[in-house]
Amino acid sequence: MSTKAYLLLADGFLIEGKAIGKQGTSGGEICFNTGMTGYQEIYTDPSYYGQIIVNTTAHIGNYGTVSEEQESDSPKISGLVVNEFSEEFSRKTAKESLQAYLEKHGVVGISDIDTRQLVRYIRSKGAMNALISSVLTPEQMKEEIRKVPSMDGLELSSLVSTKKPYFFGDPKATYKIAALDVGIKTNILRNLAERDCYVQVFPAKTTFGEMDRWEPQGYFISNGPGDPSVMDYAIKTVKEILESDKPVFGICLGQQLLALACGLSTYKMHHGHRGLNHPVKNLLTGLGEMTSQNHGFAVSEKVLRMKDVEVTHLHLNDNTIMGLRLKNKKAFSVQYHPEASPGPHDSRYLFDQFVEMVKEEVLVK
């Protein structure tokens, strides 16, 4: 017999459904992802830390889980909302059901929800805090949801970052890249390693001096969760990285930190961009690309008045800034995820551009 569960939004909107995953209570900011596949990669993306995910695709769980599709060591989401949930899976390579996977990692969820209705509501009202519970009454949930912190002003990267440095790739690779881990995805490291890079991944609060002692030929600033404007420690580090005049590439939160290091500002979006089919225009080439995205903050349009910063990519749905290039430095960034996983591979040329910049740096030296 299925257990009843409730989803409560901060504005009082309440929906009843069935409990999935671990039975209990969990809160976070609610957001939705429009991707049709890749739920395990989504749930393990550290950028989702502190958030309850609504999957817009109707069927979740039907292909189970495999260890190779992890983007970090475990799910980072605070909760899960789906329409139809399957405890049975048909993929032969899957090792366990999604239900067993969620239970093992303590993820609270709810199914049998009209996710179409819910997403339309979030798009209208905006992202807000929410609570899922299979053990509390709706009245008890109204008290509990007040304890959920706002994502605006919340520093989360240090909670998901590695605790100590580690290496990724072949030690005999041609290029050495220092990656500042503020919530890095594994597939980013794979893409760098595939391009003849040996990467040392450093904790979020590592100083520039500590990274520089390894003598890397380029720096990477990762994706991650939370509000970038309160990450003073990382903004300081990125400023010092830029002063080193070595090649720099940032993705998602990495773009926001790069912008803040240049004196720009960021803002919290109404409901963010999360999915696998976001259209972006490359203003340098005039070409479009379909992209994987996951962010609730963006760089302000103040960049348009900056002499040394150029906008390179724009979101074709709402004209938000999707890419930046520093005219006076070997540094660039994008707001979306060229490594995908899940998602299209249209933007992987950006890794090639970064490695080419590093190659030129090595040849000059």
* Cβ count near 66 (within 10 Å): 14
pLDDT confidence tier of residue 302, bands split at 50, 70 and 90: confident
> CA gyration radius for the chain?
20
pLDDT beyond 90 at 109:
yes
pLDDT beyond 80 at 8:
yes
Q: Nearest-5° angle of CA 333, CA 334, CA 336?
A: 150
Contact 186, 193 (CB under 8 A): no
Instruction: Write down the mean pLDDT value for the chain.
Output: 96
Task: Please enumerate in sequence order all residues whose Cβ is within 8 A of that of 250, keeping only pairs 6 or more positions apart, or say none.
Answer: 220, 221, 222, 238, 257, 258, 331, 332, 333, 334
Looking at the annotation, which residues are catalytic? 252, 337, 339
Structure tokens at 258: 């790069």
Q: Which amino acid is at 66?
A: V
How buried is 328 (Cβ within 10 angstroms: 0-12 exposed, 13-18 middle, 19+ buried)? Answer: exposed
* First-to-final CA distance of the chain: 68
The model's pLDDT over 211-252, given as tens digits with 9 standing for 90+, comes to 999 999 999 999 999 999 999 999 999 999 999 999 999 999
Alpha helical stretches, state H, the chain: 39-43, 98-104, 115-125, 138-144, 157-160, 186-193, 208-212, 232-243, 253-261, 349-364
What is the three-class DSSP state of 258?
A: helix
Structure tokens at 283: 């203003």
Alpha helical stretches, state H, 225-286: 232-243, 253-261
Q: Can you name the residues that pair with 18 across neighbouring β-strands?
A: 4, 111
pLDDT the model gives residue 284:
96
Beta-sheet pairing, 321-326 with 309-315:
antiparallel
Q: Can you name the residues that pair with 29 across neighbouring β-strands?
A: 51, 129
pLDDT beyond 60 at 1:
no
pLDDT the model gives residue 31:
97
pTM for the whole structure = 0.96
pLDDT beyond 70 at 173:
yes
* Cβ count near 151 (within 10 Å): 22
d(CA 124, CA 271): 9
Q: Nearest-5° angle of CA 73, CA 75, CA 80?
A: 175
The model's pLDDT over 116-164, given as tens digits with 9 standing for 90+, comes to 999 999 999 999 999 999 999 999 999 999 999 999 999 999 999 999 9
Kindly list the structural domains of the chain, giving each domain's residue range(s) and its CATH number in brackets, ordered by start: 4-147 (3.50.30.20), 157-364 (3.40.50.880)
pLDDT confidence tier of residue 362, bands split at 50, 70 and 90: confident
The model's pLDDT over 45-56, given as tens digits with 9 standing for 90+, comes to 999 999 999 999
pLDDT the model gives residue 365:
64
Contact 111, 80 (CB under 8 A): no
pLDDT confidence tier of residue 361, bands split at 50, 70 and 90: confident
Q: How many CA atoms lie within 13 A of 222 on its CB side?
A: 34
Structure tokens at 239: 């400023």
Instruction: Tell me which of 78-87, 233-242, 301-310 is least confident.
Output: 301-310
pLDDT beyond 90 at 324:
yes
pLDDT the model gives residue 224:
98
